[in-house]
Amino acid sequence: MNITVVGVAGRMGQALVRRLCAHPDLRLAAAVARPGSDALGEDAGVLAGAGASGVPVTDDVAAGVAVAELVIDFSTPAASRRVLGECLAAGKRLVIGTTGFTAGDLEAVSEASKHIAIVLAPNMSVGVNLTFKLIEMAARALGDDVDVEVIEAHHRDKVDAPSGTAVRMGEILGQVLGRDLEQDAVYGRQGQVGARARSTIGFSSIRGGDIIGEHTVMFAGIGERIELTHRAQSRDNFVTGALRAALFAVDKDSGLFDMQDVLGLS
Ligand code: NAD
């Protein structure tokens, strides 16, 4: 399959190019960076540290889309809007890993997916998405007999808390247990906080060092507890997920899919 990567000079773009250059079945068709990027004209494989690929970095989104069977986008919301338009016009499949879309953007993605196949996943990690499913199963089986707490840890430079993935885990718990994060979430505790309300979904955030990302959901009962933990060791897990999404989408003509669909968990 010929794949065009958009955002090729970024952290995810580089990791994708490295994997594509070594892949037996997938081929880097075009490498798109932002206009004005220092990377323009360079060999995309050399830029990513994977050796010569014969694919020069370009800022021509339309030309990049034209030579692709499928486009993988890890860039910015503004760039992704453009990519979506070009894929729609050219009838090309699209995997979107970029985050930070507005409700209007998501509406446009949904509308475009009536005509082209799109996988949209703010977290492409296979392990995280499987953990989402395990959390759902555990919450369904354990119900209100246990107290649920979400604990996450990230590197010292992360500026928001709790992480988007932790919030998603809380949302899944809320959906299964009939709770609402607006009312039931408790973010950290200090002082005379009183006994724990049964409906609480607790969040704790740890920040330090170079931790890439760790998430635990604790189901604490009387006499036993279950902890479901995912630990990211590198960004490569996102690349693995993106390529699985690409292989999933390649035979789809239209529709909007997420990683639960890609992994057969929906
Ligand atoms: P990054 O900042 O390292 O890379 C983004 C790249 O996009 C930059 O090189 C930037 O120059 C480029 N870009 C901007 N405008 C462009 C344009 N018009 N055309 C082509 N390229 C353009 O960021 P990153 O860590 O690689 O992440 C990229 C995006 O993917 C972010 O939105 C991030 O939140 C998201 N992300 C998602 C997942 C996931 O699992 N879905 C995982 C990691 C990162």
> What is the reported pLDDT for 122?
85
Ligand 1 centroid – CA 188 distance (Å)? 31
Nearest alpha carbon, ligand 1 atom 3: 10
Active site residues: 154, 158
Dihedrals phi, psi of 164, to nearest 5 degrees: -60, -35
Looking from the CA of 142 toward its CB, the CA atoms found within 13 Å total 21
pLDDT of the residue at 217: 98
pLDDT of 107 reads 97
From the CA of 251, how far away is ligand 1's center (Å)?
Answer: 26
Please check whether residue 17 is in contact with residue 26, taking contact to mean a CB–CB distance below 8 angstroms. no
β-strand 93-96 against 147-154: which pairing, if any?
unpaired
Q: Is 7 left (phi over 0), alpha (psi -120 to 50) or beta?
A: left
Q: Does the domain spanning 126-232 belong to CATH 3.30.70.980?
A: no
**Mind giving me the DSSP string for 48-61?**
TTS---S-BEE--H
Nearest to 9 by CA among 36, 22, 244, 29: 36
Q: How do residues 234-251 score in pLDDT, each as one tens digit?
A: 888 999 999 999 999 999
- Supply the CATH classification number for the domain 2-120+235-262: 3.40.50.720
Domain residues of the chain, as ranges?
A: 2-120+235-262, 126-232
CB 14 within 8 A of CB 48: yes
Of residues 249, 241, 9, 255, the one with CA closest to residue 125? 241
Structure tokens at 72: 């993988």
C-alpha 9 to ligand 1 mean position (Å)? 8
Are the C-beta atoms of residues 230 and 166 closer than 8 Å to each other? Answer: no
Return the residue matching tokens 């993988």: 72
Cα radius of gyration rounded to whole Å, the chain: 20
**What is the pLDDT, as a whole number, of residue 96?**
97
Question: Which residues in the chain come in under a pLDDT of 50?
Answer: none
Read off the tokens for 232: 């990211």
Using a 6 Å CB cutoff, which residues line ligand 1? 6-7, 9-13, 32-34, 37, 74-76, 79, 97-100, 121-124, 238
pLDDT, one tens digit per residue, over 75-92 is 999 999 999 999 999 999
Strand boundaries in the chain, DSSP class E: 2-6, 27-32, 57-58, 70-73, 93-96, 117-120, 147-154, 185-187, 201-207, 213-220, 225-232, 255-257
- Is the pTM higher than 0.85? The answer reads yes
Contact between 201 and 179 (Cβ < 8 Å): yes
